[in-house]
Chains A and B, each alone.
Chain A
Amino acid sequence: MEKVLLKNHGKADSHKIATYIANGGYKALTDALKLKPDNIIQMVKDSGLRGRGGAGFSTGLKWSFIPKDPTLQKYLCCNADEGEPGTFKDRGIMDHDPHLLVEGMIISSYAIGATKSYIYIRGEFVYGARRLEEAIQEAYSKGFLGKNIMGSGFDHDMYVHRGFGAYICGEETALLESIEGYRAQPRKKPPFPALAGLYGKPTVINNVETLSCIPAIIEKGPAWFSKMGPEKSPGPKIFGVSGHVKKPGLYELPMGTTARDLIYNHCGGMLFDNRPLKAFIPGGVSAPMLLPQDLDTPLDFDSLAAKGTMLGSGAVIVMDTSTCMVKTSYIVNRFFSHESCGKCTPCRDGTPWLTRVLKRIEHGDGRPGDVELLEGLCANIFGRTFCPLGDGAVMALRGALKHFKAEFQYHIDHKKCMVS
């Protein structure tokens, strides 16, 4: 398939505006500025694009909630706080093709009437932040940013905002709190950001990959996009594959590619020939794991939801038979516990409790009844937290317990690992 999101990767100076323009970049912006903003929103709706950050909400619909009042200040925020373990797709775009994101953001801002936008990038991505800052400067110097862009009458300023170590900033209202200089704790919804977002003004928050799809939708048309992959979940998708495969990395493929095709064809199969697949996580650690018998599941929002898991960020983590599910669950839960923002009790107290129990099971100090204790804690966290972070912790652990409960029990009964 013709690549759209990763097409410039591997080219010399792929991050430079000259390379980007030489490969057709900023043509979509020229075309978009000749259209009415509402037409662009309709095109994005018609394309069927759904948010690539994980929630899968219709991007065009999200944009249409922004009030049309031209006197209101509006903002676009790009969520580049990529932190879901296993996920590294947005970093790929920002490090190697930052102009794709910048162009997507200018078009998106024009569509919703935002004169200012922020890219919220996680603090550890120093390289990516520098690349974006350089790209933004280049875009200003070419007249793609600033006042009266290409004679259209549309003004736009774009800024990079660096995070400094907090997974919760990937939650859109926590991200807004963080830009405003507060501790990044999620806000109560409603009001939704489309009505009261950054500084209380109408705001759209979109993921890096979502915004990077926009230039191609303008250039090739919504029908081109909507015809790729499943009808209700179309378009190109970057899958980030890590773990026990021969060729981990980023793969741009049509939405709905099966896990089998991704792992055994594109990624060259399992890392070690004598260690077959044990399980795989289809969409970052919050997504419940699947088994070898699920390999033919199309990787898209709806097919994975039907399997009780989710596409999430499209981060596929592959685990072979040497993987201990107790240790993996401990690592994953320790992460959620570390990243809990402290706002609500079920998550703040529940995730460290889960981690303590998992730690003692992993280290051979598990007690009879610990599996039931974990299940009870999960039940008391799930659906009772302020934001989805606590649910993510539970979904991950429940996924492991569902398929590998015997491993947990073995650890408790024998004080050692069943696998190694």
Chain B
Amino acid sequence: MLSAEAKKELQAALGKYHNKRSAVMEALRIAQRENGGHLTRQAMDEIASILEMRAVEVNAAAAFYTMYNIDKPVGRYHIQVCRNISCSLMGADHIIKHMEKVLGMKTGETTSDKKFTLSTVECLGSCGTAPMMQVNDDFHENLNEAKIDELLKNMK
């Protein structure tokens, strides 16, 4: 269930648009954030009912955009390492390998304590400060092994 606060936020978002359907991306974003990083069917059904959409239409939107994690829980820290061209030229492969080694996991996995999820992503628009990664909402740039170790140490 969406919290009262989330529903209020969604009501505010509705005011931005000509119709209710336009708020679907914002509704899904709020629901995913409330649920700790992934979307449940129940939340999507609730959104459908609030926005007067069919469940399949909400699902169609959610499934299209890669940042929605449908039925796919992620760790408290979702680490997304860019692997596109500029980061690759500056050593993204090495960054990904180092991350896998330090976390003891493969890309695409979540640690058993649900603390970390490691993913690779396409270009995040931070090419002049490559290699880089995103952890939850924040960008971390000009990465090297020492910087990664320090960042991981500070993720409690």
Q: Residues of A with Cβ closer than 8 Å to B? A: 82-88, 90-91, 118, 122-127, 159, 161-167, 178-184, 198-199, 240-244, 248-250, 281, 285, 315, 317, 319, 323, 327-328, 331-332, 335, 338-339, 341
Contact = CB atoms under 8 A, between A and B. Distances in A.
Interface string B4-22: 0000000000001111011
Contacts of A317: 85-86, 89, 127
Contacts of A328: 85, 88-89
B18 A199 contact: yes
B52 to A, nearest CB: 11
A41 to B, nearest CB: 25
A327 B84 CA distance: 11
A242 B86 CA distance: 6
A328 B29 CA distance: 33
A180 B65 contact: no
B125 interface: yes
What does DSSP make chain B's interface, helix, strand, loop or mixed? mixed
B65 A163 contact: yes
Contacts of A161: 16, 25-26
Contacts of A179: 17, 22
B128 A249 contact: yes
Interface stretch (B95-103, B129-137, B148-156): B129-137
A87 B82 CA distance: 13
Contacts, number: 140
A242 B130 contact: yes
A338 B85 CA distance: 14
Interface residues of B, number: 42
A182 B60 CA distance: 8
B127 A285 contact: no
B1 interface: no
Interface residue SS majority, chain A: mixed
Contact of B122 (A118, A125, A167): A167
18 contacts: A84-B123, A85-B85, A85-B127, A88-B128, A162-B29, A164-B65, A164-B67, A166-B65, A179-B17, A183-B64, A240-B127, A242-B86, A249-B129, A317-B89, A317-B127, A323-B89, A328-B88, A331-B83
A86 B64 contact: no
Contacts of B21: 180-182
Contact of B127 (A90, A127, A242): A242
B74 interface: no
A98 B63 CA distance: 31
A178 to B, nearest CB: 7
A86 B123 contact: yes
